[in-house]
Amino acid sequence: MVRLKARYLLCEVCVSDSSRLRLLEERSIYQAVKAAVIKAHGEYGAALFNIGSTVTYVNAYTGVVILRFRKAHYQLLWSALPFITSIWNQGQKVQCFFNCIHVGGTIRTCQKFLVRYGRQQLCRMLPHCKTEAEKQEVRRAVLSCSLRKLGVDDGDKDEDSEEEE
């Protein structure tokens, strides 16, 4: 069996109103990215996008998205990201743009980078908080993006706990 290599793009969805982030869903992000690839690269981009591209992870609270694309053609996806200006979801148009913050070969490398990136963001955000409650909320939101969040290790945990019983 041949292993198909992929690249994972860790992106941040930037919106003016953070409450609009909660409207994001995998399907709507997939459709927006697909439309951007078609707009930028035409039928060739559409054909490559339909082969093995997925939205692997969406965190609607932090605006973090992981996109999967074939290794040989991931630059097509990357170059189409600036064409995303809005996402339609639940009948509402969310004005946004995608900021690609990391490109990795595995989900695990993206997770590790996300943890480091979250710590950097925490150091930047804490001085701007006015009350202790705001600081606790920011800490909780940023530290919630751990390696367990994506569910990659969850299957291993369940199998180990069943073996112990």
Domains belonging to the chain, first-starting first, are: 6-153 (3.30.70.3250)
Contact at 8 Å (CB) between 10 and 100? yes
In this structure, are residues 8 and 106 in contact, taking their beta carbons and an 8 Å threshold?
Answer: yes
Alpha carbons 7 and 28: distance in angstroms, whole number? 21
- Indicate the SS3 state at residue 56: strand
Please state the length of the chain.
165
Of 121, 122, 105, 112, residue with least CA distance to 153: 112
158 sits in the region (left: phi over 0; alpha: psi -120 to 50; else beta) called alpha
| Extended beta strands in the chain, E state | 6-15, 54-59, 64-70, 86-89, 92-104
CA pair distance 52, 30, nearest whole angstrom: 12
- The per-residue pLDDT string of the chain (165 residues; one tens digit each, 9 = 90 and over) reads 777 899 999 999 998 887 778 878 899 999 999 999 999 999 999 998 988 899 999 888 788 999 999 988 888 889 999 999 988 887 888 889 999 999 999 999 999 998 888 888 777 777 878 888 888 877 776 666 554 444 444 333 333 333 333
Integer Cα distance of 123 and 4 in angstroms: 38
User: If we measure between CA atoms, which residue out of 95, 4, 114, 18 comes closest to residue 57?
Assistant: 114
Per-residue confidence (pLDDT) for residue 152, from 0 to 100: 42
Distance CA 165, CA 155 (A): 16
pLDDT at residue 161, as a whole number: 35
